Chains A and B, each alone.
Chain A
Amino acid sequence: MHERLSFHIKRDSFIHNLNPLTKLVLTLTLILIAFTFPWYWTPHLLVLVAIIPLSLLGKVFREFSVTALRLILPAAGFLFLMQAFFQPVGSDVIFKFYFLDVTQESLMFAFRNAMRVFVMVSAFTLFLVTTHPSELMSDLTRRGLPGQFSYVIISTLQILPQIIAKSQTIIAAQRSRGLDTESSFFKRAGSLIPLVGPLVFGSLMEVEERAIAIEARGFTSKQTKTSLHEIPDPSFDQMLRWVLVALIILSIALNLWLS
């Protein structure tokens, strides 16, 4: 199967080779600092000194900027506009738009919040792009996350690509037998109906088969399991994680202290 909808891009880079937990902690650090560090330009600076360099380091800058431009920026831009217009702070009105006042404070406020959201989403994007979901899950399971929990997450991540693949297969089968799905709108809408039954039915069958398959490999066994695929966790990763946790604590402490 080709992993069509998982965000992961397979590359060999420093970031890719970090332990998944380290990357998760790194992501959370970036987000928490962006939201808690009590200095106005923090999220802006983070984009420049962390997000962009990290994407270069992970050799995913091109893919990352495409996603950022297409998805994250429009969303952050929309948030910016909403807050700039509707945030009733400040008195220094820059301009009026019908009954809406845009003040300097609301602009600044909106700019920072948009950047915070930008940091949050782009940090997560970087994380997803450089981490294979099953690697993350096997690492977390090894660290004591219940197997049932990882199963739910992994199968949720997989279900969409699988349903898409399955519906394409059925559509191909039906078209090969003369079902016209290309012509008029009504015909196309009508052709969805014969698709629904097999899709739901087939997906249910697969759930059962998968349950049997994983149980056959001792899914609910209480014994400690070994893994074919060992995920390295060198001391560098462990140290890095402590440094990051320290940064988070520092940022939150400063925030509480100054407020």
Chain B
Amino acid sequence: MNIEIKDLRFTYPTGLEAVSGISLTLEAGEQVAIVGQNGAGKTTLVRHFNGLLQPTSGSVKIGDWDTKKTSVAKLASRVGYVFQNPDEQLFSRDVLTEVTFGPRNLGYSKEKTDGLVERALALTELSDKTETNPYDLSPTWRKMVALASIIAMDTPIVIFDEPTTGQDAVNVARIANVIAELQKEGKTVITITHDIDFCAENFERVVALSKGQVLLDGPAREILGQEEILAQTYVEPPQLTRLGKRLRLKETVRNQEEFLNAIARRA
């Protein structure tokens, strides 16, 4: 299921134009990272994908549905959106109710709902915390509850808004694992992130936003090498990429494996 964005513009009631003319096509099954400085308009952009925000002009299509003509509740069957701040997303008494909320609304059968919930809880390692109140969990685990509650909806498109911000290394690995799992299932995963190493290791395509516009868009390998342009939106290439540049490696490297291979070839 493709996402098609055409000449999207969005102005907040305060008069601030947060998205100033973005056109993008995100293919089914793609793993896309969106990067860019704070206030670049990343959250504003993805909130259009599930209809929480409506374009001031231009259009967003999810498959054959125009978000202008489709309710948020209906779009929820195609687009799952994990909020930037789990405290804005969680509202149930306990983890199980929270995770069941989405699939139940989507009208799946009891068996299917139970299966999806169980799988989401297992993926996020929450299976032993089902009766806990989300607010009694640490922020890192609250984030996992937010993830689980969206994964359980089994939507073809999943959006993560800064999933790794403020998370410890163990949890970042858990989140990466969840994303890899969704990828295996052929889902489209769109992730907003400031963590450029996380971006380099987990995503094939990178879109860099700056001031409400697309600055760069392409394969991660190409984009992450463009140090000067990325600097415009205050994004630094991953450490290994920068080190590789300094060592004058021929190709842009993104992770340890590529780096070591390049070094080995040169030696």
What class of interface size applies to chain A in its complex with B?
A: 20 to 34
Say what secondary structure dominates the interface of chain A: helix
A194 touches B91 (CB 8 A): yes
Contact (A177, B71) CB under 8 Å given A2-B14, A194-B91, A205-B135: no
Cα(A100)–Cα(B153), bound, Å:
67
User: Does A192 lie at the interface of the complex (its beta carbon under 8 Å from any beta carbon of B)?
Assistant: no
Q: Residue among A170, A179, A202 with the most chain B CB within 10 A?
A: A179
A182 touches B83 (CB 8 A): no
Contact (A174, B71) CB under 8 Å given A2-B14, A179-B105, A205-B135: no
Minimum C-beta distance from B145 to chain A (A):
12
Residue in chain B with minimal CB distance to A187: B73
Residue in chain A with minimal CB distance to B133: A201
User: Does B81 lie at the interface of the complex (its beta carbon under 8 Å from any beta carbon of A)?
Assistant: yes
Contact (A178, B76) CB under 8 Å given A172-B52, A205-B135: yes
Q: How many residues of B contact A (CB 8 A)?
A: 26
B93 touches A197 (CB 8 A): yes
Cα(A177)–Cα(B135), bound, Å:
19
User: Does B19 lie at the interface of the complex (its beta carbon under 8 Å from any beta carbon of A)?
Assistant: no
Which residues of B pack against A, CB within 8 Å? 14, 50, 52, 71-74, 76-77, 80-81, 83, 88-93, 101-102, 105-106, 135, 149-150, 153
Across the A-B interface, the 9 shortest Cβ-Cβ residue pairs: A178-B105, A198-B91, A177-B102, A178-B76, A180-B73, A175-B72, A173-B89, A178-B106, A169-B88
A-B contact pairs, 16 of them (CB 8 A): A169-B88, A172-B52, A172-B88, A173-B83, A173-B91, A174-B91, A175-B71, A176-B72, A176-B80, A177-B102, A177-B105, A180-B71, A197-B93, A198-B91, A198-B92, A205-B135
